[in-house]
Amino acid sequence: MSEEKSLNFIEEIIETDLASGQCQSILTRFPPEPNGYLHIGHAKSICLNFGLAIKYGGKTNLRFDDTNPAKEETEYVDSIKEDVKWLGFNWSNEFYASDYFDQIYNFAVTLIKKGLAYVDDSTPDEIATLKGSPTEPGKNSPFRDRSMEENLSLFAAMKAGTYQDGEKVLRVKIDMAANNMHMRDPIIYRIKHAHHHRTGDQWCIYPMYDFAHGQSDSIENITHSICTLEFIPHRELYDWFIHTLEIFPSKQYEFARLNMTYTVMSKRKLLQLVTEGHVQSWDDPRMPTISGMRRRGYTPESIRNFCERIGIAKRENLIDVSLLEFCVREDLNLKATRVMAVLEPVKLVITNYPEGQTEELMCENGPDESYGHRKVQFSRELWIEQEDFMEEPAKKWFRLAPGALVRLKSAYIIQCNHFLKDAAGNISEIQATYIPESKSGSDTSEIKVKGTIHWVSAQHALQAEIRLYDRLFNAENPSQEEGDFKEYINPDSLQIIPKAFIEPSLLNAEIGNHFQYIRKGYFCLDKESTKEKLVFNRTVSLKDAWAKEVKK
């Protein structure tokens, strides 16, 4: 088997460009619009852009595509920087498209002087009507033949604030009959009297996406400008501007965006989930945002590994979210400290264990010896999981039941003798005896048991709130379903266990630590946790519960 991974199509292009001398080294960029928090789809673009630069000894710029003043905020800029860093990448330069407003304005003036741009007074409706359709050529605007001098003075007046929003636009003069609708005299500047998060009230005209993105690429000398497939029809215009303005020849390449099951991936939709209160915040652990995944306990390595596995393609597809969860488990298996926690407790009393006695048992911290050990207190009264006891055991039940023997993890073998029920008929206490010579590590009992269950000492345990998360949507592809995507929100995506019992070592848990609650899954401390009220998130269960369901 060859270890060598085949190149993806963008790597092939880069290797050709480097070999032919088309470029000496590569410069990529990640260009988020600061109008929301980054999601896992952006992680794919980040891993691709930064990953290529790392692989080929090039550089990557972080460029905020902030040409739309109304929707952009500094909060988003800060969160984006934090997320890119957390994913493990360093940008060479932090740039803002708004830094180039003067240069972009001058590019527009150049086009006017070349007779290739004109101010249009038509209404948006008139412009749309004259644009034609994919099957029908458009018609020239009555303002298309304004003189260069008139266009220059009108455009200056637009900039000076003489006109209201929408009164005039600047368009380039290409071809109203072009097959590509984007080439039918596209608008490049619009009037918008709005406060911008960086330039304040300095500008009341703003360049459109197509007249900002490529120009910014070119100003920065970006060699490979990588974007998602929906920009294919924009490429002709991207090239036209570069050619006409005679600026640095950046090239645009397109790859398939990431779509993932049981979630939505557009900032607009994610914003709705936040503002309408379907989730708590952008970093709600159920959100597909990078900050949500971080809070939930996903690691940067697992996200990078996921992006590596899904690869780069030219055709859209839908990736199963369980692949991401698989990558998270794989990484946490190696990183998480093993601890014991009882989520749905019932009391277990070991009737032959001396009252008041406590022992410190050695428990392994990880999947093998190399992770070291920690001390865990054992005493007469323990908490165990309700689900580990069955009054009338099913076939092949190896856990606790009347008369049955099990091992308490890292401790002793016990035998259940008796149980008590409360008035409602629920099991309120289980009683057992322990076998002193069966202690883990020095077991001389020669008794073989098939089941091992976890526990915490009642006297030593801490209480914690545990938050269990499930998929945020019930539909595989909520955006493609009929009606509003919010109709498919899973009402049970958050389950709160107000009072679980956890081992005392967890009092020292810190944000960023990862734990495996033995037999229960991977957990991490939530940012709302305090020493008085501990709160843990379940990052992911130990097994894929959904995969089992499908098999049934």
Contacting positions for ligand ATP (CB under 6 A): 31-33, 41-42, 44-45, 65, 227-228, 257-258, 265-267
**Could you say which of ligand ATP, Mg ion, none residue 227 binds, taking C-beta under 5 to 8 angstroms by partner kind?**
ligand ATP
Q: Which of 184, 235, 267, 296 is catalytic?
A: 267
In one-letter notation, the amino acid at residue 358 is T
| Minimum CB distance to Mg ion smaller for 270 or for 339 | 270
Choose one: 31-39, 102-110, 162-170, 467-475; the region binding Mg ion (CB under 5 A). 31-39
Could you list the beta-strand ranges (E) of 436-491: 452-453, 456-457, 462-469
Q: Which two tokens stand for residue 414?
A: 């016990």
The backbone torsions φ and ψ at residue 415, rounded to the nearest 5 degrees and listed phi first, read -125, 130
Gyration radius (Cα) of the chain, Å: 31
CA distances from 37 to 67, 162, 286, 448, 478 (A): 17, 35, 14, 54, 20
**Could you say which of ligand ATP, Mg ion, none residue 289 binds, taking C-beta under 5 to 8 angstroms by partner kind?**
none
| Active-site residue, 380 included | no
**Could you say which of Mg ion, ligand ATP, none residue 192 binds, taking C-beta under 5 to 8 angstroms by partner kind?**
none
Find the shortest distance in angstroms from Cβ 313 to Mg ion: 20
Contact string (CB under 5 A) for Mg ion, positions 32-51, x = contact: -x------------------
Q: Which residue is nearest to ligand ATP (CB)?
A: 41
| Active-site residue, 267 included | yes
**Could you say which of ligand ATP, Mg ion, none residue 173 binds, taking C-beta under 5 to 8 angstroms by partner kind?**
none
| Minimum CB distance to ligand ATP smaller for 72 or for 325 | 72
Q: Which of 144, 257, 335, 486 is catalytic?
A: 257
393: helix, strand or coil: coil
In sequence order, what DSSP letters do the residues of 241-295 get, joined into one string? HHHHHT----EEEEEPPP-BTTS---HHHHHHHHHTTSSSSTT-TTSSBHHHHHH
In sequence order, what DSSP letters do the residues of 324-340 get, joined into one string? HHHHHHHHHHHHPEEE-
**Could you say which of ligand ATP, Mg ion, none residue 267 binds, taking C-beta under 5 to 8 angstroms by partner kind?**
ligand ATP
Find the shortest distance in angstroms from Cβ 187 to Mg ion: 17
- Give the span between the Cα atoms of 63 and 45, in whole angstroms: 13
Choose one: 18-26, 29-37, 370-378, 538-546; the region binding Mg ion (CB under 5 A). 29-37
Q: Which of 33, 150, 236, 308 is catalytic?
A: 33
Find the shortest distance in angstroms from Cβ 33 to Mg ion: 5
Find the shortest distance in angstroms from Cβ 39 to ligand ATP: 6
Find the shortest distance in angstroms from Cβ 255 to ligand ATP: 7
- Give the span between the Cα atoms of 430 and 425, in whole angstroms: 14
**Could you say which of ligand ATP, Mg ion, none residue 228 binds, taking C-beta under 5 to 8 angstroms by partner kind?**
ligand ATP
Half-sphere exposure of 232 (CA within 13 A, CB side): 8
Find the shortest distance in angstroms from Cβ 254 to ligand ATP: 9
| Residue where the block lists tokens 């269950």 | 453
545: helix, strand or coil: helix
| Total site size for Mg ion, rule CB under 5 A | 1
- Among residues 512, 488, 502, the alpha carbon closest in space to that of 533 is found at 502
| Residues recognised as catalytic | 33, 257, 267
Q: Which residues bind Mg ion (CB under 5 A)?
A: 33
